[in-house]
Chain A
Amino acid sequence: MASYSTNEFKAGLKVMLDNDPCAIIENEFVKPGKGQAFNRVKIRNLKTGRVIERTFKSGESLEGADVVDVEMQYLYNDGQFRHFMVPDTFEQYQTDEKIVGEAGKWLKDQDTCTVTLWNDAPLAISPPNFVDLAITETDPGVRGDTSGGGGKPATLETGAVVRVPLFVQIGEVIKVDTRTGEYVSRVKE
């Protein structure tokens, strides 16, 4: 993998720092008129998601990280691993729950999601921003209820629990925003 000098650091560049793959968020050149030049860099650790600030001597370099985002189809969960496939090549990847993390509760068989690969191994899974999922369990609604106010918990086919309006029934399909975990609307079959 190529290495990148501080002069090449820009938002989005993926590099290795302390043996972890990281993404550069911000890079500021700091130089006293008569002094040593530094680069103050904001960087996200792609394994932990944590953002740190780190200073480098200008001209220092970091190894690039082989990190790519690939659209894949979620196939199934075998109890230990989740399996994904690249639709074009039929190439398959498996990951454990630790890497899938929060994304797991939005993954339905056959749905498309983004898999971040590091050295060709899954590093993180991002679900689509919106997913359509069926309700498997919720209290019966009361006649006359409208969307305003209140709400009730509903369990979805993937196991996720979201708050839905009182009129929504078991078996209905709803659209959910995975970034906030909130109900958006009902989906007409």
Chain B
Amino acid sequence: MLSEIRRFFAERSVLEVETPLLSHSIGTDPQLAFFTTEYCLSPLRQTLFLQTSPEFAMKRLLAAGSGSIYQIGKAFRNGESGRFHNPEFTMLEWYRVGFTLPQLMDEIAELIAGLFSGQPLQETQRVSYQEIFGSFTGLDPLVFLYQDYCAFAGDSGLSEAVAICGHDHAVWLDFIFSHKVQPHLGDNALCLVYGYPACQSSLARINEQCSLITDRVELFINGIELGNGYYELVDADEQSTRFDKELVIRQQQKLAVSVKDKRLVSALESGLPECSGVAIGLDRLLMLLSGSESIEDVLSFPIHRA
């Protein structure tokens, strides 16, 4: 799998890079918990973070003029453990300078088709978040009608959602999508879901035509989430504002204190080229390629035996 991926990018002249796992700052996303560690170079003592993805460092390379790049490396997410999660996992992340999101989606489909050439998948499906969400639930994911969402949960035997999600649109979407939509996505096929609601934009750009959606894509095969891509946000001010918002949320939710990556913001200020990027979890991809039921089956030593 790894050699096939490297060959794929070599053919396309995308440069392989390596960026630090240990960094002075870390993502502010309230949904991502990170590992903190201490750097001791007496008398210096500094808090460093294990990266939840190589995104920020790779964007700094892009801003410095690297051109299209990819990386295969470890990423760390604290507190994530289960049949599809291990706190340390392997990620493939790549950026294509000058690519729009649809162009990147084509390339993703090509890469996946190549990897599955021994066990071909059905034709790749492309569907908007609004369309797929609506077809399984009858709800509009872009407009938060609290009563309708509650009624749907009640009718679907998920009445606990009302207490869990409260009036938070994004949590409602996560709840309903992961229970009622995702399990049906990509039956022996790659399913690309694009046009995520703006409240789930993360580091993607808001769509030019419709401010309710964001230029973000997610990949699914057999109901398993494999990756996430963006038409990258290049606006330094907007990025800085989003960081600040998330830092406030982290504070409100009493989450571990994160350090905003000023080096990324200044890289964006100096100019990130128009680009699209995506990250794919390689352990899950290997699960699918090998027909494994649990991520433990494709790891040398899962966390409880590491």
- Whole-angstrom CA separation of A54 from B175 in the bound complex: 12
Closest to A55 in B: B160
Q: A28-B82, A31-B80, A55-B161 are in contact. Are A36 and B225 (CB under 8 A)?
A: no
Using an 8 Å CB-CB cutoff, how does the interface string of A161-172 with B read, 1 for contact, 0 for none?
000000000000
Question: Given contacts A37-B31, A38-B175, are A32 and B225 in contact (CB under 8 A)?
Answer: yes
A34 touches B200 (CB 8 A): yes
Q: How many residues of B contact A (CB 8 A)?
A: 31
The 8 A CB mask of B200-243 against A (1 = contact, 0 = none) is 10100000000000000010000001011000000000000000
Q: Select B178's contact among A7, A32, A56, A57, beta carbons within 8 Å.
A: A32
The answer to whether B178 touches A34, judged by C-beta atoms less than 8 angstroms apart, is no
> What is the number of residues of chain A that contact chain B, defined by CB distance less than 8 Å?
19
Q: Judging by beta carbons under 8 Å apart, are B228 and A34 in contact?
A: yes
A7 CA to B83 CA, complexed, in Å: 13
B83 contact from A28, A33, A34, A35, Cβ within 8 A? A28
Interface residues of A in 8-42 (CB under 8 A from B): 28-38, 40
- Counting chain B CB atoms within 10 Å of each CB, which of A30, A34, A35, A40 scores highest? A34
Asked if B179 lies at the interface with its beta carbon under 8 angstroms from chain A, I say yes
Are B170 and A35 in touch, CB under 8 angstroms?
Answer: yes
B84 at interface, CB cutoff 8 A: yes
Find out whether the CB atom of A55 lies under 8 angstroms from the CB atom of B82: no
**Which residues in chain B, 174-218, are within 8 Å of chain A measured between CB atoms?**
174-175, 177-179, 182, 200, 202, 218
What chain B residues lie within 8 Å of A38 (beta carbons)? 164, 174-175, 178
Is A35 within 8 A of B178, CB to CB? yes
Chain A hits for B225, CB < 8 A: 32-33
Contacts of A7 in B (CB 8 A): 79, 81
Most B CB contacts (10 A, CB to CB) among A7, A36, A55 go to A36
CB distance from A62 to the nearest CB of B (A): 12
Contact of B177 with A32 in the complex, beta carbons under 8 Å: yes
Q: Are B228 and A30 in contact (CB under 8 A)?
A: no
Q: A37-B31, A55-B179 are in contact. Are A32 and B174 (CB under 8 A)?
A: yes
The listed residue (B31, B84, B179, B281) touching A35 by CB distance below 8 A is B31
Once A55-B161, A55-B164, A57-B164 are accepted as A-B contacts, the answer to whether A36 and B85 lie under 8 Å apart by CB is no
If A29-B83, A31-B80, A54-B160 touch, whether A36 touches B200 (CB-CB below 8 Å) is no
Say how far A42's CB is from chain B's closest CB, in angstroms: 13
Smallest CB gap from B163: residue in A: A57
On chain B, the residues within 8 Å of A29 by CB distance are 80-85
Q: In the complex the two chains form, what is the Cα distance from A149 to B227 in whole Å? A: 61
Interface membership of chain A positions 39-68, coded 1 if the CB is closer than 8 angstroms to chain B and 0 otherwise: 010000000000001111110000000000
A34 contact set on B, CB distance < 8 A: 29, 31-32, 200, 202, 228
Once A54-B160, A55-B164 are accepted as A-B contacts, the answer to whether A35 and B80 lie under 8 Å apart by CB is no
Q: How far is the CA of A55 from the CA of B177 in the complex (A)?
A: 13
Taken together as a complex, chains A and B put the C-alpha atoms of A30 and B177 apart, in Å, by 11
Told that A28-B82, A28-B83, A37-B79 touch, could you supply 4 new A-B pairs with CB distance under 8 A? A29-B84, A35-B170, A38-B178, A55-B164
Cross-chain pairs A/B with CB under 8 angstroms, 19 sampled: A28-B82, A29-B82, A29-B83, A29-B85, A30-B179, A33-B228, A35-B170, A35-B178, A38-B164, A38-B174, A38-B175, A38-B178, A40-B179, A55-B161, A55-B164, A55-B179, A56-B160, A57-B164, A58-B79
Name B's A-contacting residues (CB within 8 A). 29, 31-32, 79-85, 157-158, 160-161, 164, 170-171, 173-175, 177-179, 182, 200, 202, 218, 225, 227-228, 281
